[in-house]
Structure 1
Amino acid sequence: MNSILILGCGYLGSHLANYFNQQGWSVKVLGMRSMHTDYLSESIKFVELDVNDIESVKHFIIPGDFVLCATGSINATNPFNDISRDITDYYLPYINLLNECASKNIGKFIFLSSAGTVYGNASNFAKEDDRLNPLNIYGVQKAFFEQLIQIKHNESKQLPHVILRVSNPYGGIQNPLKNQGIIPVLINKALNGEKFEFWGDINATRDFIYIDDFLKATYLASKCAINEVINVASGTCSTIGEVIDVVQHRVDCKIDIVYKTSANTVVKNNLIDNSKLKSITGFSPSITLEDGIQQIVGKMLYAKE
């Protein structure tokens, strides 16, 4: 039986744990307890610990196993002044993790990077070999971690890996009250008749990938690819305004939106090419934004009954 250790039990880590488990893998998850741990399959072993504490984590890193890094860190709104804390809290523990994984001769290291930030503003659909141009310290962190993986493997020849640049997954089990992900928050506000404060540019473009497509793409890329960087994205883009229109249409109501000007540097155009994903895995994301939003609306309405 194939085995995988997933670091982090947030939105993506928990969904991936259940998906790998459904495919017949032995799955262990390390992380802090949250709403997502309650939805893990009973056959998944969950251990509550600080994934940045390598002394605790290293006992669970087994030679030959896959290790998937889905840990949380700073977010795209953190300012430059947070970088010192970021280096202490995340950079140094990450270096320790890579060293430990390489020394244990793991089967493969899978890193979830961010297609939404490492490319910066893209006038064309960004491909994996395009120049990286992160605009915030979150994107800088992801790009730097990617390079650390590649350098460690080049030096040691003992860190086979896949770097997955993920766009913007949505759907599945999300908490709309935490303001993580514009789509579930918008839908929740619309269903409850609440105002929605939007900080940013309504004309900004984003690539949104439904959780089911993300899970299958990540699973196949993790299995099929070796020492590759792959965009995991829908390959389509929508403006924030278009997302709002779709939500309003599916909920059948007008959302009261209060527009705010953000002081943070944000990516305006985020276009992601997914042709390499299709070439390596044979998989092409198929759930449209309209259908994905409809599924979320249906689930939220059912939960309210």
Structure 2
Amino acid sequence: MSRDGVLLLGGTGFIGRALAARLKRDDIGAHIVGRNDGDLLETAIPGCGTVIHLASATTPGSSARHPNLELGNLALTLRLLELLENQPETHLIFFSSGGTVYGNPDRLPVTEDAPIAPLSNHGAGKAAQEVFCQAFRSRGHAVTILRPSNAYGPGQTLRQGFGLVRTLLEHATNETPFQIWGDGESVRDFIYIDDIVEATARLIKLPQDSGTYNLGSGMGYSINQILDIVRTISGKTLKAVYRATRSIDVRNVVLDSTRLSTLLSWTPQVGLEDGVRRTLASLN
């Protein structure tokens, strides 16, 4: 049986759709499996040399008061690892979360060697999945763990409490106020979708890789700075309404992606202002 295909678990989401388009362009067969397609997952795995696990049913906000929601994500990952036990030549690429697993790191930009200290249930769920992936790796399986920063770009759909750039552009277009938790000075790392896809496409060509990598731009912007960029590019008045800070929100996080850049000879190509401009253009 040919094992040239790539299985995208959670391939109907933002990053998954963009990856599927890239694989089609590269003439690589992609099998798209949703979070609830357990039977299809079992059938597709034997024909795939690479499995990319993108599936997540939660955001930091959605599971903030309902930690049990993270059980669904963990159960799916454990089911996948169970199925891969008998597929020792399959390369697993697991998408974790560089924006949540570190909590508030002591130093910025944060490297992969920093302690895992999530503040949110979502981050804790990602950290738990990472630990199981690491245990699976220790048994001789090739497992790459990616910790992406905040992804954005054309093709991102609105999702409550998730996707700052996309949400701000929607509010700017509709000229509706945007609610900010805190003073707006929290700093985040944003990475354009094409840069994520390019890095992942290069990782697919390294089937023996078993590293853990940050995947970010290495640049930090406060929420207030993002507001100003969106206002300038859209030409719209975007009103911000400031609310009390939430305990689940990371204060500052910027990712050091040197390890991944060295491995792949890869660097992000799209700066934030250009990326926001492209994203807005895709909505018109």
Same fold (TM over 0.5): yes
Distance across 2 between alignment mates of 1:105 and 1:162: 14
Deviation at 1:185?
A: 1.4
Residues 27 and 114 (structure 1 numbering): CA distance in 2 closer, same or farther, change over 3 Å?
same
Corresponding residue number in structure 1 for 2:8: 6
Structure 1 residues not aligned, in runs of 5+: 33-49
Q: For 1:1-305, what aligned pairs fall within 5 Å after superposition?
A: 2-8=4-10, 9-31=12-34, 50-51=36-37, 53=38, 55-62=39-46, 65-79=49-63, 82-87=66-71, 89-122=72-105, 123-155=107-139, 157=140, 159-176=141-158, 178=160, 180-224=162-206, 226-300=209-283, 303=284
After TM superposition, the structure 1 stretch with the greater mean CA deviation from structure 2, 92-101 or 107-116, is 92-101
Does the 8 Å contact 1:236/1:271 carry over to 2? yes
Q: Quick one: distance in 2 between partners of 1:84 and 1:176?
A: 24
Q: Is the 8 A contact 2:158 2:167 kept in 1?
A: yes
Note the C-alpha offset of 1:179.
5.1
> Gaps spanning 5+ residues in structure 2: where?
none
Cα contact 1:62–1:106 (8 A) shared by 2: no
Residues 204-235 of structure 1: CA deviation (Å, up to 9, x unaligned): 00000011111101221332360100111111
More displaced 10-residue stretch of structure 1: 66-75 or 256-265:
256-265
Q: Distance in 2 between matches of 1:148 and 1:95?
A: 8
**8 A contact 1:200–1:266 mirrored in 2:** no
Cα shift at 1:12 = 1.4
What is the TM-score when the length of structure 1 is the normalising length?
0.85
Question: 1:178 and 1:93, CA in 2 relative to 1: closer, same or farther beyond 3 A?
Answer: closer
TM-score by length of 2: 0.91
| CA distance in structure 1 between the aligned counterparts of 2:218 and 2:42, rounded to whole angstroms | 37
Deviation at 1:70?
0.7
Q: CA deviation at 1:161?
A: 1.4
Number of aligned positions between the proteins: 279
Secondary structure at 1:67 match in 2: strand
Indicate the larger mover: 60-69 or 73-82. Answer: 73-82
CA–CA distance in structure 2, aligned partners of residues 181 and 79 of structure 1: 16
| TM-superposed deviation, 1:102 | 2.1
* Contact 1:79–1:264 under 8 Å retained in 2: no
**Whole-Å Cα distance in 2 between the matches of residues 174 and 259 of structure 1?**
25
What's the secondary structure of 1:62's corresponding residue? helix
Residues 233-273 of structure 1, C-alpha deviation per residue, up to 9 Å, x if partnerless?
11111111111111111112321221222444210011110
- Identity, % of aligned positions: 27
Contact 2:154–2:278 under 8 Å retained in 1: no
Higher RCO (C-alpha under 8 Å, 6+ residues apart): 2
Secondary structure, aligned partner of 1:185: helix
**CA distance in 1: counterparts of 2:181 and 2:215, whole angstroms:** 26
Superposed CA RMSD: 2.0
